[in-house]
A and B are shown apart, each in its own frame.
Chain A
Amino acid sequence: MAAIRSDVFFATIPELNARLKAKEFTAEELARSFADRLAQLGPRYNALALPLNQEAIRAAKEVDKELKRERFRGPLQGVPYGVKDLLSFAGQPTTWGAKPYAGQVFDYNATVIEKLAGVGAVLTGKLAMVELAGGGGYRLPAASLTGPGLNPWDRTRWSGGSSSGSAAAVAAGLVPFAIGSETSGSIVTPASFCGVTALRPTYGLVSRHGAMALSWTLDKLGPFAHTAEDCGLILQVIAGADGKDPGSAGKSFYYTPQYARPMKDLRIGFAPVDYAEWAEPSARPAFEAALGVLKASGAQLVETKFPRFPYGAALSTILAAEQASIFEPLIASGKVNELADPAQIAGLKASLEVPAKDYLKAMRLRRLMQEAIVRIFGEVDALVAPGRAGPASKVDQPLDRSVSPSAAAPKDPGFRAIIQAGNLAGLPALVLPCGFADGLPVALQVVGAPYSENTLLAVGREFQGRTDWHKRRPPGS
């Protein structure tokens, strides 16, 4: 068996594909190495929900047979990956990160797993998550069946949620890529905290069939990887119409970097207050430098005002009403009390009391928000903002604890609500690691109009061609 060198664990998808084709190692050897590494190191970060070594090796052997016959299925062929444990994989436990569902087993695969299997990608494990993707409003990083997600850059820090394991596993080189989900921040937050590249696709672009529903009108699945290019290659595979997902937009995605517009033709909106005042002081130099990189690339940075709406109130109301309907049986049965976080239990119970008129008011207002936000993209091609205002919080710190309670909030909201607004409007977002604060990663998010993923990925490629933040590895990895 060929020895897998440690640099392979942080290789990009095209690099792994090239090395498989060059027969540096077989798909089986690659799968064994990654699966063993995930099984061995995943628990160190509470990132592993379920190892799938035997299934991975079986799938990789099939890939080797195909490669031997020179039957090539694309760049993901033979590349190992992991999925957030809210995706069903037939015959194996799918816990949704929650004790009441610890023994749950489905008899079918999620559509994204089927699509990835179709191109020869090799599933090596299921990855940890915040229980029920955190819909009840969790207060503790420990709100998970597998314990608090620990950040590979510093295990005293949180990995972010709710796709905790997906981000941590990619950051630590335990999988080359992973699939996570976002309802409101569950891709952007852990990717920012763990320093990995990730893409939240346009609502409806990726089928959610086989994924736990938290909010039918907000849920999205997307990739975590080492580069923007990797995210494009993954999205091309997992996107597409699916009659099994009522929210499917019926659209495909083709990653076409060759047709990307020159950076000098792109207008990118930003709000100076995000960087000068909302960002935590330790993170401001990294964010300012990242804006400088975008300027140096030729992009025109345009000061932009975000339309004012109660985004947080609307999102919380919609999420509460939809999750109440979805989890009503759990709440009614009393099993909701088995969740790890009391705040989440309380939030789920209270969500049953949200009146229909409030839900519909939020959904009607949402339409006005979508229209106003889409109008911005008549002026700019993308928006850029910090992924999160600062680095990961301490793992023993309640999430509702203010970082600087005495500091007065800036009057200008800037793009402060871009996570909620972007999710309400179904917008895609690309997370790009952009430096460090207090020794921990921070990231930018680039947000675009619906179906503008190729533009966002072009910005990401350019940014990553000029920086090496995405190549940095956590200590000891």
Chain B
Amino acid sequence: MKLTRRKLALVLTSGVALAQTPSTPPAIPDDLLQEARKRNQANAAALAGEQIPMATEPAFQFKV
């Protein structure tokens, strides 16, 4: 298997891809970042309301 120029070009220059992704990075409105932060804070608040026994360890182990 090898990467041909044609395939790389397909990925890098596909018309659809170019249509969907602006050539210059879009400016992220500050309100979007604030909204994302608020969502994280709301999640933290929802978790803060939960009582957890002190002996409860994080769920790092998933093997049953």
Whether B39 contacts A137 by the Cβ 8 Å rule is yes
Please classify how large the interface on chain B is, using the bins under 10, 10 to 19, 20 to 34, 35 or more: 35 or more
Whether B42 contacts A313 by the Cβ 8 Å rule is yes
Whether A320 contacts B40 by the Cβ 8 Å rule is yes
Q: Residue of A at shortest CB range from B53? A: A368
- In the complex, what residues of B have CB within 8 A of residue A99's CB? 17, 21
- In the complex, what residues of A have CB within 8 A of residue B48's CB? 361
Asked if A177 is an interface residue, CB under 8 A from chain B, the answer is no
- Shortest C-beta distance, B40 to chain A (Å), equals 6
> Whole-angstrom distance between the alpha carbons of A370 and B26 in the complex?
41
Q: Residue of B at shortest CB range from A337? A: B25
Asked if A181 is an interface residue, CB under 8 A from chain B, the answer is no
Whether B11 contacts A102 by the Cβ 8 Å rule is yes
Whether A103 contacts B25 by the Cβ 8 Å rule is no
> Whole-angstrom distance between the alpha carbons of A95 and B2 in the complex?
16
Given contacts A103-B11, A340-B20, contact A365 B52 (CB under 8 A): yes
> Whole-angstrom distance between the alpha carbons of A355 and B47 in the complex?
13
> Which of B29, B35, B44, B48 has the most A CB atoms < 10 Å from its CB?
B44
Whether B16 contacts A43 by the Cβ 8 Å rule is yes
- In the complex, what residues of A have CB within 8 A of residue B43's CB? 310, 312-314, 316-317, 320, 358
Whether A145 contacts B28 by the Cβ 8 Å rule is no
Q: Residue of B at shortest CB range from A309? A: B50
> Whole-angstrom distance between the alpha carbons of A92 and B57 in the complex?
42
Cβ-defined partner of B1 (8 Å) among A91, A362, A364, A451: A91
Given contacts A102-B12, A247-B62, A360-B58, contact A317 B50 (CB under 8 A): no
Asked if A90 is an interface residue, CB under 8 A from chain B, the answer is yes
Asked if A55 is an interface residue, CB under 8 A from chain B, the answer is yes
Whether B62 contacts A426 by the Cβ 8 Å rule is yes
- Shortest C-beta distance, B6 to chain A (Å), equals 10
Q: Interface segment, A63-71, A341-349, A466-474?
A: A341-349
Cβ-defined partner of B57 (8 Å) among A249, A317, A367: A367
> Whole-angstrom distance between the alpha carbons of A146 and B2 in the complex?
22
Given contacts A145-B20, A146-B17, A358-B43, contact A105 B57 (CB under 8 A): no
Given contacts A309-B50, A354-B40, contact A337 B17 (CB under 8 A): no
- In the complex, what residues of A have CB within 8 A of residue B11's CB? 49-50, 93, 95, 102-103, 145
Whether A147 contacts B17 by the Cβ 8 Å rule is yes
Please classify how large the interface on chain A is, using the bins under 10, 10 to 19, 20 to 34, 35 or more: 35 or more
Q: Residue of A at shortest CB range from B21? A: A99
Given contacts A91-B3, A92-B3, contact A147 B10 (CB under 8 A): no
- In the complex, what residues of B have CB within 8 A of residue A417's CB? none
Whether A91 contacts B2 by the Cβ 8 Å rule is yes
> Whole-angstrom distance between the alpha carbons of A343 and B34 in the complex?
11
- In the complex, what residues of A have CB within 8 A of residue B26's CB? 337, 342, 345
- In the complex, what residues of B have CB within 8 A of residue A349's CB? 28, 33, 36
Whether B10 contacts A350 by the Cβ 8 Å rule is no
> Whole-angstrom distance between the alpha carbons of A312 and B2 in the complex?
43
Asked if A203 is an interface residue, CB under 8 A from chain B, the answer is yes
Whether B21 contacts A363 by the Cβ 8 Å rule is no
- In the complex, what residues of B have CB within 8 A of residue A146's CB? 14, 16-17, 20
Whether B7 contacts A93 by the Cβ 8 Å rule is yes
> Whole-angstrom distance between the alpha carbons of A366 and B62 in the complex?
11
> Whole-angstrom distance between the alpha carbons of A217 and B21 in the complex?
30
Whether A365 contacts B50 by the Cβ 8 Å rule is yes
Whether B57 contacts A147 by the Cβ 8 Å rule is no
Asked if A412 is an interface residue, CB under 8 A from chain B, the answer is no
- In the complex, what residues of B have CB within 8 A of residue A353's CB? 37, 40
- In the complex, what residues of A have CB within 8 A of residue B62's CB? 203-204, 217, 247, 249, 426, 450
Within A50-86, the residues touching B (CB, 8 Å) are: 50-51, 55
**Residues of A in contact with B (beta carbons under 8 Å apart):** 43, 46, 49-51, 55, 89-93, 95, 99, 102-103, 105, 137, 142, 144-148, 203-204, 217, 247, 249-250, 309-310, 312-314, 316-317, 320, 334, 337-340, 342-343, 345-347, 349-351, 353-355, 358, 360-368, 370, 426, 450-451
> Can you identify 22 A-B contacts, CB atoms within 8 angstroms?
A46-B16, A91-B1, A93-B3, A93-B11, A146-B17, A147-B17, A249-B64, A313-B47, A320-B40, A342-B32, A343-B36, A349-B28, A349-B36, A350-B39, A353-B40, A361-B48, A363-B59, A365-B50, A365-B52, A367-B56, A367-B59, A368-B52
- Starting from the known contacts A145-B17, A310-B49, A366-B59, 5 additional A-B residue pairs (CB-CB under 8 Å) come to A103-B12, A105-B3, A313-B44, A361-B52, A367-B58
